[in-house]
Amino acid sequence: MKIEIFGPGCPRCQETERRVINALARSGKDAEVVHVRDLKEIASRKVMFTPAVAVDGVVKISGRVPTEDEILKLLGV
Give residue 76's pLDDT: 87
**Given the residues 2, 9, 10, 11, the one annotated as active site:** 10
1 annotated active-site? no
10 annotated active-site? yes
Give residue 20's pLDDT: 97
Give residue 56's pLDDT: 95
What residue segments make up the domains of the chain, in order of their start?
21-69
Q: For residue 66, what pLDDT band results from cuts at 50, 70 and 90?
A: very high
**Given the residues 3, 5, 13, 55, the one annotated as active site:** 13
Q: For residue 69, what pLDDT band results from cuts at 50, 70 and 90?
A: very high
Between CA 20 and CA 5 the distance in angstroms is 9
Q: Which class for 40: exposed (0-12), middle (13-18), buried (19 or more C-beta within 10 A)?
A: exposed
Give residue 77's pLDDT: 80
| Contact between residue 59 and residue 9 where contact means Cβ atoms under 8 Å apart | no
Give residue 49's pLDDT: 96
Which tens digit of pLDDT belongs to each residue from 5-50?
A: 999 989 999 999 999 999 999 999 999 999 999 999 999 999 999 9
Residue type, 39: L
